[in-house]
Chains A and B, each alone.
Chain A
C-alpha cells in the first residue's frame, strides 16, 4: 500500500536522511542495512547537504498518467555531498535550457497526490541556483 511505504520513507524523502557506514564511511542513500563495500551493519544517520550538480538528465515528453499534464519536465541524476547520487525531477525550469554540470539545490515539494481524496505526498526536487 502506497501510504505505508510513503510513511516509512519520510526521513529520507523529507530531510535527506542517509546512512554513513561506521567502519568505511560509505554513505548509503536511501539508507541500507548492510554496507555494500565492507558488509558492516553499523550505520550513523546523517543528513545530506542540499546542494549538488546535474550529472545527466532526460526530458519527459510523454509522462505516466499521473504526470501527463506536467510535461515536458526534466528528470536528472544529481550528485550531492559524500558522492551520493540521486534521481530527481528538476523543477521550475525551461527544460530546453538545462545543461549538464549546472548547480542545483534540493527543495521540498509536492511529488504526487494519492488520488483525489488521498494524502498529498512530498519529497525532494532540484531547482537551479
Chain B
C-alpha cells in the first residue's frame, strides 16, 4: 500500500480583506465578494517566502509521520514563486529539517499544479521501490498585479505530504493527469506579474482540464461521485471549484470541508493540497477523497485516496489547517499590504 504517511499545512498570520482591496481601486466591495466568493486572503510576512512556508508545512508533516528525516529519499517543492530563479528551494529546506545530504531534490513549476506534481512523483518513487519515503510540497507566495482581478485571490500558504508504504494514513488508489497547450495564464522571465489570456481562463482551461482528469479518474476507478465522502479541486476563487464539482456530479456537502478559498484565497501550488490537508485533518477511516488540481498552461493531476485506520492516530499531532485559518489573524490595510508585498518603490 502506497500513500500519505504524514501531512502538514501552514498559512501565514497576515490577512487582507477583499473589501479593503476593492475600496483601494474604487470597485464595489459587495459585488467583488459576491462575484468571486472571496472574503479575505492570507498575506506572507515580510520574512516569509515559499521556502519558509515549505519548511513550516514539512515540520508539521514530520510531526504526524514520526519518521527519521534521514530516511526521506526525495524532496520536491512545487511553486510558481520559488525565491530564486536558479537555486533549488529544496536545498535550503533539507538543511533546515535535517534531511540528506543523501537525497534527491528538485523544484517543480507548472503554475498552480506544481504542488500536486511534486506529490505525484514522490508517491510514484515510493511505489517503484526506489526509496522508503519521499516528500512532496506545494507552496506559494503569489502576487497579482495591483488593481488586477488576481489581486483579490493571490495568497500564501502551503502543504507537505510524506509518501511511504508503512503506516499509510491515506492510500493513493488511482491517479490521472490531463495536459494541453493552453494560453490561459503565464509569466514571462523577468516580469513581476503574470498575465492572463482573458477568454481562455474559464472553459478552455480550468473546466476542460479538471473535467478531463476527473472523468478519466471516475472511469478508471469505476467509482461514482456519490461513493466519495470528500472532493477538492483547485480553488482560483470561490465559484470555480463549486461549479466544476457540480458538473462532475459532486454535492456542496462533499466539497465543503476542502473549500477553504473564501477565507484563504488562492495559494496557487498550495491550493488543492491545503484543501486536501483540511480534509485529512477531520477524515475518518475508509473515507474516499477525490482531488483534482489545475495549473495554467494547462493541466490537471487527479488523485483518489482512501483513508486508513492510521489517520486517527496522527490528526492531533500537529496544528490543523483550520487552526491556521481561523486563529491569531493580523489584518493589514492596503498601504501595509503594498509594503509587505514590496509593491512600493524605495530608494536603494
Contacts and interface: CB of A to CB of B under 8 A. Distances in A.
Interface size class of B (residues with CB under 8 A): 20 to 34
Contacts of B346: 69
Judged by DSSP, the binding face of B is loop
A48 to B, nearest CB: 13
Contacts of B52: 107-110, 122
Interface string B75-104: 000000001100100001001111000000
Contacts of B28: none
A47 B98 contact: yes
B97 A110 contact: no
A96 to B, nearest CB: 13
Given A92-B13, A109-B47, A69 B339 contact: yes
Given A91-B45, A125-B47, A108 B55 contact: yes
B27 interface: no
Nearest to A110: B47
Contacts of B97: 15
B330 interface: yes
A92 B330 contact: yes
A120 B56 contact: no
Contacts of A111: 47
Contacts of A108: 52, 55-56, 96
Interface of B: 12-14, 45-49, 51-52, 55-56, 83-84, 87, 92, 95-98, 328, 330, 339, 346, 348
Interface of A: 10-11, 14-15, 47, 69-70, 91-92, 94, 107-111, 116, 119-120, 122, 125
18 contacts: A14-B92, A15-B95, A15-B96, A15-B97, A15-B98, A47-B98, A70-B46, A91-B45, A92-B14, A92-B328, A94-B330, A107-B56, A108-B96, A109-B45, A109-B48, A120-B83, A122-B52, A125-B47
Given A94-B330, A110-B47, A110-B48, 7 more contacts: A15-B98, A69-B339, A108-B56, A110-B51, A110-B52, A120-B51, A122-B92
